[in-house]
Amino acid sequence: MQTQAMFLKSIKSSASAMTDDEFFKVLGIKGYKNILQFWSAMDEEYGLTRARQLESAYIKLEEGDDRTFYSMIYEEFDVGLAFASLRIDLYRSFLTWFKAMMENRTSATVIDIGCGNGVLTCLMAANFPESRFIGFDISEAGIDSANKLKKKLSLENVDFLSGDLNSPPKELENMEADIAFSVASIDPDQQFEDSAVNRSLIELWRELEQSGKQSGEDLSKLVSNLLKSNGGIFICFDKLVRPLQQMRRLQAMIAAGLKPDFAASAWLQYTDVQGEPVILPILLGRTESAQASPCNILDVIGFLIRKNRTFDEGGINLSYGEDAVAEVAFSYLNPKIFIQGARADYKDGSGSIWQELWQAGPVLILFEHSNHGYRGLELHPLTARDIIKERHDRFIESSKEYADVVVIEEPESRFTALEP
């Protein structure tokens, strides 16, 4: 059985020879079925008292206090590596895509924005020994851990610096890197969420076009300071769950001089800490010598609806997480006639949700939409009309427990379909 010391020696002799699984194994980064299994392992490794302290820090992360969480787990090198286990499948998914993207490149200068303790950066540096990798992060403790990891793995093609996206390290000024990427590090801006009141993707996109850099997400320093002015690549694999967040990031990329490449962009799936599948977009933008041309909204929507669809027995069901597909399917399924509907106004004043029944030829459409961006759509054969009407009646009755319900005789919101 190969010892860790023997394995580290093999890394020093040939970093490109190790597999990703070997990389994780030597660092003690393991895959867990769910978060409970992870905490059980932490109890065994660090004892109940220390594990509960770390769990308290993890709660901070769930509450949005990233800085407190990362400053605490990066205090100890091994603890930081242990928490990397929670992202092991995310890293694998991204790296698999990145390898395919790099297939025709022999070498590149690559920047990791928000590198944390450098696990992903070092993994990529080991996979691409002819390329140069530079990671930077706002956490000093994270950068200290990253440098320890670099030394542990004897990697010579990676460096780590302190800084953030708005104040990049001075060493990177006029860097003209080939590629810069962000993996779960640039959070979506929450501005504009409340004003996105029950409007279509097309209307939201047009408003985002007008807002430009005022959207709250400014990537201009990334482009001007870090990337090549012509042919540089920015890759975003952040937690952009809703179509509104995805469109805002695309607009921020365009405002910074990046042209989205939808052919190279993709939807990646990985398993999260709860053991549940997650599908998120990976957005790729390229710098151009001339100012990036505006995106065609149909290209944007065409990318959004590439996300996986789910099917129910007897019909098609597009629900939570499939908002863009649901809206596009509803908007372009024409001609259709409105049959009946209802609006439920939450008694606590937090918003409203509509449920509408439509008919398009031989198809019944059950469409739900809220003023917070939720879209849900079901398609059923016309023969199921009585069953679907009964479901709609149950929606009205059950909603009365928490909302004021209004039966509507005509649709209150229109979702625009563009001519091709």
In a domain, 18, yes or no: no
- Of 285, 304, 323, the position where a domain reaches its end is 304
The CATH number of the domain holding residue 193 is 3.40.50.150
- Of 246, 275, 304, the position where a domain reaches its end is 304
Burial class (CB in 10 A: 0-12, 13-18, 19+), 228: middle
In a domain, 414, yes or no: no
Q: Compute the average pLDDT of residues 94-100.
A: 95
pLDDT at 194: 55
Task: Identify the weakest region by mean pLDDT among 59-68, 289-298, 407-416.
Answer: 289-298
pLDDT category at 283 given cuts 50, 70, 90 is very high
Q: What pLDDT digit, counting tens, does each position of 178-235 carry?
A: 999 999 998 887 655 555 557 788 888 888 887 754 555 788 888 888 899 888 999 9
What integer best gives the mean pLDDT of the chain?
A: 86
Tell whether 278 and 320 lie within a shared domain. Answer: no
CA-to-CA dists, residue 36 to 40, 43, 184, 270, 321, angstroms: 6, 11, 22, 18, 25
Asked if 245 contacts 191 with a C-beta cutoff of 8 angstroms, the reply is: no
Asked if 87 contacts 184 with a C-beta cutoff of 8 angstroms, the reply is: yes
Tell whether 183 and 221 lie within a shared domain. Answer: yes
In a domain, 251, yes or no: yes
Tell whether 270 and 140 lie within a shared domain. Answer: yes
Tell whether 300 and 333 lie within a shared domain. Answer: no
Tell whether 215 and 321 lie within a shared domain. Answer: no
Tell whether 294 and 315 lie within a shared domain. Answer: no
Tell whether 187 and 208 lie within a shared domain. Answer: yes
Tell whether 238 and 329 lie within a shared domain. Answer: no
Q: Compute the average pLDDT of residues 259-267.
A: 90
Overall number of domains in the chain:
2
Asked if 292 contacts 258 with a C-beta cutoff of 8 angstroms, the reply is: yes
Tell whether 335 and 189 lie within a shared domain. Answer: no
Relative to beta strand 363-370, strand 352-360 is: antiparallel
In a domain, 258, yes or no: yes
The boundaries of the domain holding residue 273 are 85-304
Tell whether 285 and 367 lie within a shared domain. Answer: no
In a domain, 252, yes or no: yes
Q: Name the helix (H) or strand (E) containing 393.
A: helix 385-399
CA 360 vs. chain centroid, Å, equals: 34
